[in-house]
Amino acid sequence: MFVSVAGSAARVPTRWRKEVERILITDDAIAQRIREMSREIARDFKGREMVVVSLLNGTVMFLADLIRNLSLPLRLDFIGVSSYGAGTESGDLVFTKELRLDVRGRDVLLVDDILDTGKTLFRVLAKLKALKPRRIKTCVLLNKAARRVEKVEADYVGFEIPDFFVIGYGLDFAERYRNLPFVGVLHSHVYKQVAAKPASARKPAASPRS
């Protein structure tokens, strides 16, 4: 599903109008798409007990909505990944939480919020494959194909988005805006202000790319 550069016509709630330039994907559109993705995943994993492995922290909302729509037996675990570096570009990846469940011989669904350069998914996939699961399928809410550096694609994609730095629905800028129910584009004055300050964990205080 491709979301146009213009995004949604929905109005940004008054509370967020100074910081959020526009809504790219509404909460209704997200909910509808997640129901479709869940049906597809349920079909593919039918008859198997799956292990859902979700990357912290950006998947928090997506994961919750996705798995509540999945009526399959599943177990859930998390991997923590942080990227440190200067500016917008992610630097070295650091694992802040390791997987605890044994995935050997299991069917794994790896969930992330956004596939951007692909560096994160690439690294995490390599790590998971070494644990010898039966198969791994990848699922992301957003795909920003224009910025891809690593050769990696997701099996399930919620929305194809243009090259904007997006926030909301779990996605942050300097750890803020995760609680917005929609996916939106930040006003440039916000990231210009914050870019001068110390970094956040998953992604450093980054200047959004747009």
Residues marked as catalytic: 116
DSSP classification of residue 58 = T
Q: What helix, strand, coil percent values describe the chain, rounded to 5?
A: 25, 30, 45
If the CB atoms of residues 45 and 169 are measured against ligand XMP, the closer one turns out to be: 169
What per-residue string of b and e applies to 31-42 under the rule 16 or more CB within 10 Å gives b? Answer: eebbeebbeebe
- Residue 112 engages ligand XMP in binding (rule: CB under 6 A): yes
If the CB atoms of residues 187 and 202 are measured against ligand XMP, the closer one turns out to be: 202
How many binding residues for ligand XMP (CB under 6 A)? 20
Answer for which of 114, 139, 157, 180 binds ligand XMP (CB under 6 A) is 114
Q: Where are the beta strands (DSSP E) in 38-132?
A: 50-56, 74-84, 92-97, 107-115
- Residue 8 engages ligand XMP in binding (rule: CB under 6 A): no
- Residue 19 engages ligand XMP in binding (rule: CB under 6 A): no
- Residue 116 engages ligand XMP in binding (rule: CB under 6 A): yes
- Residue 156 engages ligand XMP in binding (rule: CB under 6 A): no
Q: Which of 41, 52, 115, 108 has its CA nearest to residue 78?
A: 52
**Residues from 117 through 136 that contact ligand XMP (CB under 6 A):** 117-121
- Residue 182 engages ligand XMP in binding (rule: CB under 6 A): no
> For residues 62 and 208, what is the distance between their CA atoms, to the nearest angstrom?
21
- 3-state SS class at 72: coil
If the CB atoms of residues 49 and 92 are measured against ligand XMP, the closer one turns out to be: 92
Q: Which of 3, 2, 48, 10 has its CA nearest to residue 27?
A: 10
Question: Pattern 22-61, binding to ligand XMP, x per CB under 6 A?
Answer: ------------------------------------x---
Q: Which stretch binds ligand XMP (CB under 6 A): 12-20, 126-134, 171-179, 187-195?
A: 171-179
- Residue 171 engages ligand XMP in binding (rule: CB under 6 A): yes
Which amino acid is it at 36? E
Residue 136 CA to its chain's centroid (Å): 17
Site for ligand XMP, rule CB under 6 A: 58, 90, 112-121, 165-167, 171-173, 202-203
